[in-house]
Homo-oligomer: A and B are copies of this chain.
Amino acid sequence: MTESKLVDEMNSSSTLDAIEQMILRISWLAQRQFIQLLDDERFNLTLTQFYTLLHLAQTNGECKMSDLAEATQQSAAALTGVVDRLLDKQLVERTRHERDRRQVMVQVTPRGLALIAEIRQARREQIHAALGHLPAADTERLLELLEGVLVGMSRILERSEAGRLA
């Protein structure tokens, strides 16, 4: 910080409230902007399709439908339709588990992997355009703080999931 202030050790409410306001605005803008990018003729994916495919791309090998549903925060019923469409586009393959025939396994295809790579490249270019002008020290600090945000968010998500199961 450039200037020393008389700050409490504790978080002041007003800072967190301002962060709430800021996150409201950034989230909406970021989401809309990303949807627009995904709508490009090169990609032509919905947000849900992207995040579903992303998880598969980051998974080594096959993924069980129910695991995929939990990881992407969708219901099993909703996921069925999403995977149907990814299948139409030949971005994933669907097979049955060899031993437990109830389980449906999904796996990303090379084509799906290539598409995810393309999209993330385009996304990185957007990020560079948006944040490239900031000093390196700022972006490094931002990364550290975002890590803290992710940890905090995961924590309250776990709590609410625990509550749902209880």
What's the Cα separation between A25 and B149 when bound, in Å?
11
Given the known inter-chain contacts A28-B51, A136-B9, A140-B1, please indicate yes or no for A22 contacting B146, CB distance below 8 A: yes
A159 CB contacts on chain B under 8 angstroms = 129
Count of interface residues, chain A, beta-carbon cutoff 8 Å? 66
Interchain CB contact under 8 A, B23 and A135? no
**Smallest CB separation, A4 vs chain B (Å):** 11
A20 within 8 A of B: yes
Interface residues, chain A, with chain B CB atoms under 8 Å away: 1, 7-12, 15-20, 22-34, 36, 51, 54, 72-73, 120, 123-124, 126-143, 145-150, 152-157, 159-160
Cβ-neighbour of A73 out of B17, B32, B160 (below 8 A): B32
Interchain CB contact under 8 A, A140 and B7? yes
**Smallest CB separation, A121 vs chain B (Å):** 10
